[in-house]
């Protein structure tokens, strides 16, 4: 249903003129009335007709990228790829970090929609993004890194996260490990789910039972990684290897292992993800699963520009994973 200013006025119990004044800032409205009107505007993702019309017909040469965090080298590389391609194509780029806050993400998308950017690249905070279907009919949106197919008319550019989990786990199994712990960054997102699916498949193919107690949430931080490693190794004393899904968590894990008097890879083998510059000079150097973040960012902006130019069908893209082998996994 198309919500009108009259509908908003009726639900808020005010006049249409009051709604207009709130939207345009043309008259001081009492705070209770103003808050109520703004709440209903946000509830229905209402955009004034003139703005919506301009949004569809005028180019601002400005796009937005909304990411769920600035936490690691992978996300920063992805942002860099988007920025470079945007600049090359003559666009200005607005960058927003939602800090894994779903409510803030929704407010941000609503604001960007009403402020007439030409399109949005979004790495969502969770799988709960069906609300985007309210926007994708009239606003070019590309999902990057994380996605949920429930969103229609929004192509995605991702990496092969299933292969990330599968290859990391298989490699550790080939080194003789059967009790492999996983420290993951964020629940309820496609990247984590894909990697855990790969982990489970590798275990199954090698006749190793899956044990949910071998998983621990590390919140994508150094401190979270350290705490997760300590928790896992205290409760699951049979673990001999860890797959860590973010480079900041890997730093925390290594620090905690040293504190516990455990050697890498002799006592605990490690495979990380993201391959920050420090990975090659850590003692021992860290084996990492890698997806190409700059290429993901570049292709995301290319997809967005196609949508902005009116292409009806823009393909989904999944880029391959690779492994950088170093000593932390037990390889020489």
The tally of domains found in the chain comes to 3
In a domain, 55, yes or no: no
In a domain, 132, yes or no: yes
pLDDT digits (tens, 9 = 90+) for 160-173: 999 999 999 999 99
CB-based contacts of 195: which residues, under 8 Å, 6+ apart? 161, 162, 164, 165, 168, 182, 184, 245, 273
- Please state whether beta strands 215-217 and 180-184 pair in parallel, antiparallel, or not at all (unpaired): parallel
Number of neighbouring beta carbons within 10 Å of residue 73: 17
Domain check: are 311 and 257 in the same one? no
Burial class (CB in 10 A: 0-12, 13-18, 19+), 62: middle
Q: What is the pTM of this model?
A: 0.83
How does residue 42 score in pLDDT terms, banded at 50, 70 and 90?
confident
Domain check: are 144 and 167 in the same one? no
Q: Assess contact for 240 and 266: CB atoms under 8 A.
A: no
pLDDT at 41: 84
In the DSSP assignment, the letter for residue 134 is G
Give the whole-angstrom CA distance, residue 30 versus residue 107.
22
CA 229 to chain centre: 23
pLDDT at 48: 64
Reduced to 3 DSSP states, what percent helix, strand and coil does the chain have, rounded to the nearest 5? 45, 15, 40
Q: Assess contact for 295 and 78: CB atoms under 8 A.
A: no
CB-based contacts of 293: which residues, under 8 Å, 6+ apart? 73, 74, 75, 76, 77, 78, 80, 81
pLDDT digits (tens, 9 = 90+) for 128-148: 999 999 899 889 999 999 999
Domain check: are 184 and 261 in the same one? yes
pLDDT digits (tens, 9 = 90+) for 98-113: 999 999 999 999 888 8
How does residue 157 score in pLDDT terms, banded at 50, 70 and 90?
very high
Q: Tell me which residue of 293, 292, 302, 250 sits closest to 273, measured CA to CA.
A: 250
In a domain, 276, yes or no: yes
Question: Which residue(s) pair with 142 in the sheet?
Answer: 121
List helix spans (H) across the chain.
5-12, 16-24, 31-43, 49-57, 73-88, 102-114, 161-174, 190-205, 222-235, 247-259, 293-308
Domain check: are 264 and 178 in the same one? yes
| CATH number of residue 110's parent domain | 3.40.50.2300
- CB burial of 254-274 (b: ≥16 within 10 Å; e: otherwise) equals bebbeeeeeebbeebbbbbbb
In a domain, 326, yes or no: no
pLDDT at 47: 67
In a domain, 204, yes or no: yes
In the DSSP assignment, the letter for residue 324 is E
Domain check: are 280 and 301 in the same one? no
In a domain, 331, yes or no: no
Range of the domain at 135: 61-158+293-320
Residue 163 belongs to what H/E stretch? helix 161-174
CB-based contacts of 215: which residues, under 8 Å, 6+ apart? 181, 182, 184, 196
Q: Assess contact for 55 and 47: CB atoms under 8 A.
A: yes
């Amino acid at each position: 249903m198309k919500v009108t200013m009259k509908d908003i006025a009726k639900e808020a119990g005010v006049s249409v003129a009051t709604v207009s004044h709130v939207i345009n800032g043309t008259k001081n409205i009492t705070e209770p009335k103003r808050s109520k009107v703004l709440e209903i505007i946000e509830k229905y993702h209402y955009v004034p007709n003139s703005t919506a019309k301009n949004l569809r017909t005028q180019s601002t040469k400005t796009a937005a990228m909304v990411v769920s965090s600035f936490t690691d080298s992978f996300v920063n590389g992805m942002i860099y790829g988007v920025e470079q391609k945007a600049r090359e194509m003559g666009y200005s780029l607005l960058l927003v970090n939602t800090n894994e806050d779903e409510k803030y993400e929704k407010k941000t998308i609503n604001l960007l929609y009403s402020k007439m950017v030409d399109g949005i690249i979004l790495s969502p905070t969770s799988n709960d993004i069906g609300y985007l279907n309210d926007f994708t009919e009239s606003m070019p949106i590309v999902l990057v890194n994380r996605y949920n197919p429930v969103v229609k008319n929004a192509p995605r550019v991702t990496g092969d996260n299933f292969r990330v989990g599968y290859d990391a786990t298989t490699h550790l199994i080939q080194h003789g490990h059967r009790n492999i712990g996983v420290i993951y960054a964020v629940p309820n997102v496609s990247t984590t789910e894909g990697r855990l699916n790969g982990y489970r498949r590798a275990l199954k193919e090698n006749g190793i039972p899956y044990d949910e107690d071998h998983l621990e949430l590390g919140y994508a931080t150094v401190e979270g990684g350290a705490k997760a490693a300590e928790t896992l190794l205290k409760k699951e004393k049979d673990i001999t290897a860890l797959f860590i899904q973010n480079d900041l968590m890997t730093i925390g894990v290594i620090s905690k292992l040293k504190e516990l008097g455990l050697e890498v890879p002799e006592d605990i083998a490690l495979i990380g993800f993201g391959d920050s510059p420090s990975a090659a000079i850590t003692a021992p150097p860290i084996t990492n699963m890698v997806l190409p973040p700059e290429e993901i960012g570049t292709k995301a902006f290319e997809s967005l520009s196609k949508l902005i130019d009116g292409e009806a069908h823009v393909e989904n893209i999944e880029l391959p994973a690779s492994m950088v082998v170093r000593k932390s996994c037990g390889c020489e």
